[in-house]
Structure 1
Amino acid sequence: MLDISLLTWAATIGFIVLLLAVDLVLAAARPHHVGFKEATAWSVFYIAVAIGFGIWFGLQYGNAAGTEYFAGYIIEKSLSVDNLFVFVIIMSTFAVPDKHQHKVLVFGIVLALIMRAVFIALGASLISLFSFTFLLFGLLLLYTAIQLFRHRDEDPDIESNLMVRGARRFLPVSDGYIAGRLFAKEDGRRVVTPLFIVLVAIGSVDLLFALDSIPAVFGVTEEAYIVFTANAFALLGLRALFFLVKGLLDRLVYLSAGLAVILAFIGVKLILHWAHVDLDESIPEISTPLSLGVVLGVLVVATVASLIKTRGVPEAKAHAGSLTATKVKRERERDDRR
């Protein structure tokens, strides 16, 4: 285990909070449509920060630790692209105006970081107490991979989300987006705006993604510090990446299938690690460098195959994938049975 001092933890968290604060101030002070040039500049900046941190971390704590960080970062970055699919669906479902999308994304990233911090602390505690936690994480990832692959050509049904339906049922909602506020007064009564419902939707989606992404990154490292920083730096660039690639997301038709393969691979890696530790040390393990190579290889193949597919079949459209059959598909299957 690495000896990460409290000062290092505090400095890292402080730096991440500072970056988030800058995003929040920009979102609140100047709501605007984020153009391609601005999105590109911020994306390059956040990737440079993540790479710079990884180089420093490798020099400070050794090449093995640096490799684990970069492997975790790439895994989280690839999974975060699936987040973007769902964010696009949410923005479209609730017709969020362009000038308020910046704010929604920043709040979504903050919620995601908080949830991931909780799951990281919980996961690290379970791993330190029970080695079979690796088996549970591995089985969870295998189940997720199978479900994601089965429903890779579907999108999540946001309107039927339990938290969204609950918010709509028990809270008075205004008709329009009132100056980008979450709460307002309408006809003399306090109401929530559709922006609040959007944040509820994004928060519930963040919770589901945290359940998958945290076990996935624990597949390449047991260090809570590496898990946290890999997640944080992957998420920090998510806002800029959304505006940069949202027009290209429809072309990544094989991304969900690729992510399913990555999750299944990491699930097998976790199960082998558990078997090596608890059953028989002769059972082979999958190394972190090999994991990094497999993840990068799958992402490259999925991306190239997607671009070739959409070039030959322009009407082909990518989907975020779902862990359960969506309402639309269930209704279609019910009609087919009739």
Structure 2
Amino acid sequence: MDFAFLFAEWLGKPVWMWASFISLVITILAFDLGVLHRDNKEIEVSDSLKLSALYISLGLAFGAWVWWYLGAESGMNYLTGFVVEKTLALDNVFVIALIFSFFAVPRLYQHRVLFWGILGVIVLRAIMIGLGAALVTEFAWVLYLFAAFLIGTGLKMLFGEDKEPDLAKNPLINFMRRRFNVTNELHGERFFVRQENPKTGRAALFVTPLFMALVVIEVADVIFAVDSVPAIFAITTDPFIVYTSNIFAILGLRALYFALAAMIHRFEYLKPALAIVLIFIGSKIFMADLLGIEKFPPALSLGITLSIIAAGVVWSLVKTRKSEESA
């Protein structure tokens, strides 16, 4: 059998590298669902932290392989993208918790929704990153649009009013309720049920609130990707580094969710740090032009990013601890 096609390039890397990565992700997800969470059960904070540590270790180990095989610059770009995407994902936790609360989804079934949500994210991010790579390759000036967008987003996060989304008025939820048969209550872990339609008296297919929660979470991720995809392209334009760092950061979000949801209030001051990171990532494209260099040094970019995020985490933990002690 001729395996020459495995060494053909696709989006800048050999096909075997892409195939190996996808196979690794499928194996991880199969192990997670088929072994670790074969039966529905509530995930405790301690289990969430252990599983998160495993996912973070896998992501860092892959980054170490990228560093060894593709070189230090690719390794540093991967780690920077991984850290930025992981931090951006913290914003998702608040929204996901709000969605689960709105649909009254118990912790017992939240893992199922998040698992299928991750599968959707893997496909959607591939499409968005593929489109982004095509645009950047064809029109180099798109990077400057991404950079300006990141700076604007960061400034809005720093100085804009932070409002909690009102899901009761969400147009997507209202659209689904108008267009589909929707049950008023959950039916265990099922996304769809067949039952009698009170309007016609005939059996019909109904969607459950669990499925609606899944759809809203998927759409929320697309909205968040509008920030994260330009951010990673501002770090590197290598589609392989962009996609792998994105997916490894997201894979662990499901595991980390159950721990973060219980202590999200301790990261109150992380959002300003994240806003500064976005401004920095957007600005460094323009700074490279001003300094007359091809690109901002990856090592310096990684160091500054880690320092800003670490400062935000430490400051959040210190300030919220003082607030709890004085309460």
Fold shared, TM-score > 0.5 on shorter chain? yes
- 1:170-319 equivalent positions in 2, closer than 5 A: 170-187=179-196, 188-273=203-288, 276=289, 282=292, 285-314=295-324
Q: CA deviation at 1:281?
A: 7.4
Say whether the 8 Å CA contact 1:138–1:215 is kept in structure 2.
yes
Q: Distance in 1 between matches of 2:228 and 2:82?
A: 11
The percentage of aligned residue pairs carrying the same residue is 36
Q: What CA RMSD, in Å, does the superposition of the two structures yield over aligned residues?
A: 2.3
Residues 281 and 130 of structure 1, relative CA distance in 2, 3 Å threshold: farther
Q: CA deviation at 1:144?
A: 1.8
Residues 76 and 303 of structure 1, relative CA distance in 2, 3 Å threshold: same
Aligned partner of residue 102 in structure 1, secondary structure? helix
Match of 1:105 among 99, 104, 114: 114
Give the gaps of 5 or more residues in structure 1.
Answer: 317-338
1:143-177 deviation digits (Å, cap 9, x = unpaired): 22222223464323333333222112211210111
Q: Distance in 1 between matches of 2:126 and 2:159?
A: 30
1:260-296 deviation digits (Å, cap 9, x = unpaired): 11111111123445xx3xxx77368532222212221
Aligned partner of residue 13 in structure 2, secondary structure? coil
1:15-34 deviation digits (Å, cap 9, x = unpaired): 11222233344688411101
Q: Identify the residue that residue 170 of structure 2 maps to in structure 1.
A: 161
Give the gaps of 5 or more residues in structure 2.
Answer: 1-8, 197-202
Say whether the 8 Å CA contact 1:23–1:106 is kept in structure 2.
no
Q: Distance in 1 between matches of 2:22 and 2:161?
A: 35
Q: CA deviation at 1:185?
A: 2.0
Q: Distance in 1 between matches of 2:124 and 2:287?
A: 28
TM-score scaled to structure 2, two decimals?
0.88
Q: Identify the residue that residue 144 of structure 1 maps to in structure 2.
A: 153
Q: Distance in 2 between matches of 1:151 and 1:228?
A: 30
1:128 is the counterpart of 2:143: no
Q: Distance in 2 between matches of 1:147 and 1:311?
A: 27
Question: What is the number of equivalent residue pairs in this alignment?
Answer: 311
